Amino acid sequence: MLILIIYLMCLFAAIGLAGLAGFSDVKGLTIPNSYSLYMIASFIIAYSALYFGAPEVKIFGGVACHILSVLIFFIVTFILFALNVLGAGDSKFGAACALWVSLKYLPIYLFFMTLFGGILGIVTLYIKHKKPFKSPAQGSWVYQAQNGVGNVPYGVAIGFGLVVTFIYAEYLSVAVLTSF
């Protein structure tokens, strides 16, 4: 039972961090590095608890699959950062989230993250051209978009991709929860 509680606490911490990162990105187009570190720590705690405390529960892949997921994600997003398409905070936070999804679910994570990022891009263009908000908070995504900056709060898309991947990977399914 203790292992289940640790697993759930880490999983909900990851979801909460995804929400905080999205909020921070909308608020000021930044994601604090500490969120990436907390995301990594939550995974390490969850993975370790399952590996040492409940090895019969097969939720995650092998550690190499999770590390490769991070490396692949980071390499791709580093290139996007170098091309000035994605922010450094987005790259770091997305890579930290990729640790949770492993290679098996990396394509799903990338697909839904990209899909929602595209939707946010369209919304950003709409805000940029129509200027529908009277007085948005200075420095916020909406403020910047209305003043001609085309940056997208990709932390929102990263969080969306992560949560959809958690659902797809059945991290909270009855089968997983009753396997403890």
**Domain extent at residue 63:** 2-177
Q: Which one-letter DSSP state was computed for residue 134?
A: S
pLDDT for res 157: 98
| Model confidence band, residue 180 (pLDDT cutoffs 50, 70, 90) | confident
Q: What is the C-alpha separation between 133 and 142, in angstroms, rounded? A: 8
Neighbours of 177 (CB within 10 A): 15
Q: What is the C-alpha separation between 57 and 180, in angstroms, rounded? A: 6
Question: What is the 3-state secondary structure of 14-52?
Answer: HHHHHHHHHHHHHHHCCCCHHHHHHHHHHHHHHHHHHHH
Query: How many structural domains is the chain composed of?
Result: 1
Q: What is the pLDDT of residues 10-69, one digit of tens each?
A: 999 999 999 999 999 999 999 999 999 999 999 999 999 999 999 998 899 999 999 999
Q: What is the pLDDT of residues 56-110, one digit of tens each?
A: 988 999 999 999 999 999 999 999 999 988 999 999 999 999 999 999 999 999 9
* Residues 95 and 70 sit within 8 Å (Cβ to Cβ): yes
pLDDT for res 76: 93
Residue 85's alpha-carbon distances to 53, 80, 82, 162, in angstroms, are 42, 5, 8, 20
